[in-house]
Every structure is written in C-alpha cells, then in structure tokens.
C-alpha cells in the first residue's frame, strides 16, 4: 500500500475483549460500513441493527438519546442540532394542512414565529392564549379540534407556571397531543405528568458551559419513531462531537442545577427586599402567584430570576450596564451568570393587550444565575441596583 493510500486507510486500533474506555469514544464518523453488500442490504431492510450514515443515526448521538430519555422518564429521544431545531422538527412532523394548534403568549419567541409564520404558510391555524387563562384553554379544547398544545413552565422570562395536571387532562380528553418545552425546568422535572413530548434546548443546562448547541425531543417509542421518519430528510442532525460535549456536561448536571437553583432562591429573596425592585418573578418565592402549584409540580425552582425595576427602562439600562459579573448575553443555564433586559427580549409580533398579558414591562430584567459565589453575585446586584435607583 503506497503512503497516499495508507493515509486514507490507516491502521485500525480496536480494544481487545475485556478492555473498555471509561468515557465512550466519539464516533466522529459520517459513514459506517458492513462486511458485505448482503449485510448492507439486510440493514436497509431493517433485518439487522447497525449504523450507516450519521445524518440518520450515530452511536455517540444515540448514547445521548438513551441517557436523556431515561432522565426525563420516557422510552425514546431524538437529538437535534439546536433547541430550535427540536421545536421546528416536532411542529413540522406532527402537523398537516387544516390542523389547529393551541399555543401561548408566554412562549419562546421563535416557537411563536414558527407557529404563526411557518406553519401558517402550510395552512395550520392556531389560537394563542395566556398560559394562566384556564377558562380560555378549556373553551378552546372543548370547542375546536386541536392537533397539539405547545407550552412551557416556568415561562420565559417572568416564570409563570402552567397547571400541568389541568392542561394535560383537558388536552387528552380533547385528543390533542401535549408538547412541553421543558428547557427551564430541566430533565429531572415534570416527567410524572401526562405530557406526550418534552422539548429541550441542550445548549442550556445539559451543556452547562455554553460551548455547544443542541436540542432534544423526548417521548414514547411510537411518537419518536414517527418523528424519525421525517428526520433524515429535514436534516437537523446533532454532530457527534457536540453530542460528546453534551454527554460530558450532563455528568455535572444535577450538582449544577441544584447549586444554581439554591443561589437563585437566595438572590430572589434579596431582590424582593430591595427598594429599587417593584416585583420579583421566581416560582420559589411564597409571594409568586402560583407558588403552591410550582411547589407541587417541581422539586427545584430553577435558576432564572426576573424582576421589574421601579425606574422602568432607564433603570434597567443602568442596572444591566453596571453589573460586572452578569454578562449581557442571550441563553441561560450556563455556569456564568447572565442578564437580559426587556428590550433585548422584545417582540413586535404581540398586540398591546398580548404584551400586557405577557407580564413583561419596560423595567423587566431576566437573570440567569450561574455557579459564581452567591455573595459575590449579590454584591454585584446591590451595586447595580444602587445605580438603577439613583
């Protein structure tokens, strides 16, 4: 074999039987082959297991899928190249012309955009309510055939809490699928509710350090199989190296989530007592309007704390610009603390009434609490609140 040939057919090094790596190797390969054409044909006919092309499946991404399914307490999972890809793929795969979708004002902006603009182009209609409008949810589900209900809890950014038991019971009775973007609550929460599909942005708590994008859809074997049918051609695949980084991040998921939630709870209490703050949004605070419901549904209240500053938009600007330890950046759930203002989250798609119902005011700021020392974070917040209040 000449050297130009050799570099394309390097020597294989396989682990001998009885010897294993503690960290599974990254299968950074797009292609897999079988010994013979006959075996390849058997694979295509579904008569033997294996891998062929990583757009459809790959051992490293599969390891991540199996782990996430188990964490969320469902049979199967499909991972995607970003959280938004998981949302888009689910919506596109599950709806057809003439279907109706129930969605909410308090939903991640791109999800609302997908429903309104993308599904709308294909003849899918929708109704958008507030997640707290129990009567409206009941009325729509009883009066209009609905393919799916898509929702979040706690919601972004003002941490409203969906009544999961009521919502899932009513949707089930109406024959509608429930799709929950569970990114804020994490993989260890809400699995005991009758939710059909959980969506996650793996970019957030799974990765933890914000160096990789990823998404997941988790549900029954049957639903995930039906999503997989379109998956290979929609192409929103997660790269194996990204899957490896997310698997690595998940090793510390529980300690991070719990430690960051504990800091968030202290910071929420600190903000609630501060004179420059009009209102704090954190489901762990007894003053939260749905604290009792949140306490019944969740073990950890999460790492997102929002508050409305008394001085409105100007105060929010001074606050965000004065903070030293909170990066003025998108995303959440990473080990460093982050801040975003209402202006950064603004959407022109909502009417004035919908804006009011969203609960976001000009002085709303959202904090994502990281792993820094909580005393340092509170000192930084105190300095920024002094600047905001002055």
Ligand X SMILES: Cc1ncc(COP(=O)(O)O)c(C=O)c1O
Nearest Cα neighbor of 197 from 221, 173, 174, 214 is 221
80 binding ligand X? (CB under 6 A): no
Q: In whole angstroms, how close is the CB of 107 to ligand X at the nearest point?
A: 8
156 binding ligand X? (CB under 6 A): yes
Q: What residues from 85 to 124 belong to the interface with ligand X (CB under 6 A)?
A: 108
Long-range pairs of 253-259 with CB within 8 A, sequence gap ≥ 24: 253/186, 253/187, 253/205, 253/206, 253/208, 254/188, 256/205, 256/208, 256/335, 256/371, 257/186, 257/188, 257/205, 257/300, 257/303, 258/300, 259/371
Mark the segment that binds ligand X (CB under 6 A) among 48-56, 91-99, 178-186, 358-366.
178-186
Integer CA distances (angstroms), 82 to 28, 71, 124, 341, 367, in order: 18, 19, 23, 23, 22
- Put the strands of the sheet holding 304-309 in their side by side order: 277-281, 304-309, 364-368, 338-341, 327-328
Nearest Cα neighbor of 154 from 199, 106, 103 is 106
Q: How many residues bind ligand X (CB under 6 A)?
A: 14
Mark the segment that binds ligand X (CB under 6 A) among 76-84, 129-137, 140-148, 361-369.
76-84
The answer to whether the CB of 167 falls within 8 A of the CB of 137 is yes
Q: In whole angstroms, how close is the CB of 382 to ligand X at the nearest point?
A: 27
Query: Binding ligand X by CB under 6 A: which of 102, 140, 149, 213?
Result: 213
Q: Which CB sits closer to ligand X, 173 or 330?
A: 330
237 binding ligand X? (CB under 6 A): no
Q: Which CB sits closer to ligand X, 108 or 198?
A: 108
Place of tokens 């904090």: 367
Mark the segment that binds ligand X (CB under 6 A) among 60-68, 180-188, 225-233, 241-249.
180-188
**Position closest to ligand X via CB:** 83
183 binding ligand X? (CB under 6 A): yes
Half-sphere exposure of 269 (CA within 13 A, CB side): 8
Give every CB contact of residue 311 below 8 A, 6+ residues apart in sequence.
Answer: 276, 318, 363, 388, 389
Mark the segment that binds ligand X (CB under 6 A) among 82-90, 96-104, 187-195, 274-282.
82-90
Place of tokens 């704390």: 305
Q: What residues from 317 to 336 belong to the interface with ligand X (CB under 6 A)?
A: 331
Mark the segment that binds ligand X (CB under 6 A) among 37-45, 179-187, 254-262, 280-288.
179-187
Q: Which CB sits closer to ligand X, 213 or 218?
A: 213
Q: Which CB sits closer to ligand X, 84 or 227?
A: 84
The answer to whether the CB of 63 falls within 8 A of the CB of 247 is yes
203 binding ligand X? (CB under 6 A): yes
Q: Applying CB under 6 A, which residues contact ligand X?
A: 82-84, 108, 152, 156, 181, 183-184, 201, 203, 213, 215, 331
């Amino acid at each position: 074999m000449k050297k130009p040939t050799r570099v394309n057919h390097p020597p294989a090094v396989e682990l001998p039987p009885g010897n294993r790596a503690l960290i599974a190797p990254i299968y950074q390969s797009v292609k897999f082959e079988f010994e013979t054409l006959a075996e390849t044909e058997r694979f295509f006919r579904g008569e033997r297991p294996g891998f062929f092309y990583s757009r459809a499946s790959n051992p490293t991404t599969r390891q991540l899928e199996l782990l996430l399914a188990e964490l969320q307490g469902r049979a199967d999972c499909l991972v995607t190249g970003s959280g938004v890809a998981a949302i888009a793929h689910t919506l596109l795969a599950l709806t057809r012309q003439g279907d109706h979708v129930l969605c909410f004002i308090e939903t991640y902006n791109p999800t609302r955009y997908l429903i309104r603009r993308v599904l709308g182009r294909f003849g899918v209609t929708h109704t958008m309510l507030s997640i707290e409008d129990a009567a409206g949810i009941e009325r729509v589900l009883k009066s209009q055939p609905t393919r799916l209900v898509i929702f979040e809890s706690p919601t972004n950014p003002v941490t409203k809490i969906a009544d999961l038991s009521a919502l899932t019971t009513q949707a089930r009775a109406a024959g509608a699928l429930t799709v929950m973007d569970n990114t804020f609550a994490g993989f260890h929460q809400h699995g005991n509710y009758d939710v059909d599909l959980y969506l996650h942005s793996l970019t957030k708590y799974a990765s933890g350090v914000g160096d990789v994008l990823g998404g997941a859809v988790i549900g029954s074997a049957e639903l995930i199989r039906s999503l997989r049918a379109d998956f290979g051609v929609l192409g929103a695949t997660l790269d194996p190296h990204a899957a490896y980084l997310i698997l690595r991040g998940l090793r510390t998921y529980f300690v991070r989530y719990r430690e960051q939630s504990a800091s968030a709870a202290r910071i929420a209490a600190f903000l609630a007592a501060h004179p420059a703050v009009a209102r704090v949004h954190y489901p762990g605070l007894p003053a939260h309007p749905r604290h009792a419901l949140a306490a019944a549904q969740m073990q950890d209240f999460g790492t997102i704390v929002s508050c409305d500053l008394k001085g409105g938009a100007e105060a929010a600007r001074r606050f965000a610009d004065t903070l030293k330890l909170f990066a003025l950046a998108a995303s959440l759930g990473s080990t460093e603390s982050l801040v975003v203002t209402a202006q950064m989250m603004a959407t022109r798609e909502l009417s004035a009434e919908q804006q009011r119902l969203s609960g976001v005011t000009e002085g709303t700021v959202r904090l994502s609490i990281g792993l820094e020392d909580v005393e340092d974070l509170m000192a930084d917040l105190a300095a920024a609140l002094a600047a905001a209040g002055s």
